[in-house]
Amino acid sequence: MSSPTKYYHHGRFRVAGGVLPDAITAYRTYGNPQNPCIVFPTCYGGRLDSQDYAVGTDKALDPSKYFIVTFALFSNGESSSPSNTPPPYNGPYFPAVSYEDNIRAQYAVLTKELGVKKVYCVMGFSMGAQQAYYWPVVYPEFVERFIPICGSARTSPHNKCFLEGPKAALVASKDFNGGHYTSQPQVGIRAFGRVYSAWAYGQTWFRNHSYLQDGEHSSLDDFIRARWEGGFLTWDANDLLTLLHTWQTGDVSIVSGVNGYGSLADSLSAIQAKGLIMPCKTDLYFPPEDSEIEVSHLKNSKLVVIDSVWGHLAGGGANPEDTAFVTTQVRKFLGE
């Protein structure tokens, strides 16, 4: 069992696109604070309750052994977001936020509120994985290990191009109104979900008609409407776009501070933390070839590929087989 969601007020907090007058980070904790700390931040489309798939005594992150802290990304609707920030920074006026901004905010919660002196491991999936890469770059002396699952240290050009698709479908819709909508822009969000869905799975997964889910869905259209339109209709459109911008601009080589503004190779080679890098063989967002390049620059990390037809979703608890594989690898790495 986790603690109830808590909210840390940073006060005036500078972010990439300006300032938040009263920035808020939402988080939950699991386990005993005296145990080694594991940070497990959210991904795109993720909220704090969605993190439970990997937290439990029989799961990848065992709260009887570790003190686990889950963090909500800025713009996920729980931490400061376009949808919950009062004027004049509400809606489309919400400033751009970077991964580095999120890491600085999470560090403040850990050190000022929770009294954490060192993080044993940062683990994340997708956007959470990109945060896992950022942590040992932004705070190199604070993090001992990191586990990026289906993510990258820098968002690749092909990934950025993909994200332009769902973004364009949303902002060009007749009901988005430049972000000044007064009711949920269903046309735009539904279009966003449909464009987004095509890249979420491996080609073999679709070829095998896995979307029928043993009769749960009657057709591909029914699957897209139920899973992808329906899933994103629970989100605010401006929240989706601000999060998407954070994803698009991910790049550890532009982190300010100890590593300056060097190359990606230099930034990765400077990481001292021990890493377990876990891409999926069929991921269309973060292909394993990108992970191979990154690992070649890391001094103390190993590559373990998830051999699955589930594409990007293999790393996010989408099916029992892949989840069992990830759990085994994570537990082994944490115990080393």
Distance separating alpha carbons of residues 82 and 289, to the nearest angstrom? 35
Does residue 9 have an active-site annotation? no
In the chain, DSSP assigns E strands to: 6-15, 18-30, 37-39, 67-71, 119-125, 143-149, 274-277, 301-303
The two structure tokens encoding residue 246: 């954070």
Do 169 and 187 meet the contact criterion of CB atoms below 8 Å apart? no
First to last CA, the chain: 26
Does residue 291 have an active-site annotation? no
Distance separating alpha carbons of residues 192 and 188, to the nearest angstrom? 6
Annotate 92-127 with DSSP letters as a single string: GGSPP--HHHHHHHHHHIIIIIS----EEEEEEETH
- The catalytic residue among 251, 283, 290, 322 is 283
3 state DSSP class of 26: strand
Residue 144 is which amino acid? E
The torsion angles phi and psi of 250, rounded to 5 degrees, stand at -65, 130
The two structure tokens encoding residue 70: 């889950």
- The catalytic residue among 75, 80, 81, 126 is 126
The two structure tokens encoding residue 28: 């939950």
Sheet holding 67-71, edge to edge: 6-15, 18-30, 67-71, 37-39, 119-125, 143-149, 274-277, 301-303
Does residue 283 have an active-site annotation? yes
Number of neighbours of residue 203 by Cβ within 10 angstroms: 11
Active site residues: 126, 283, 312
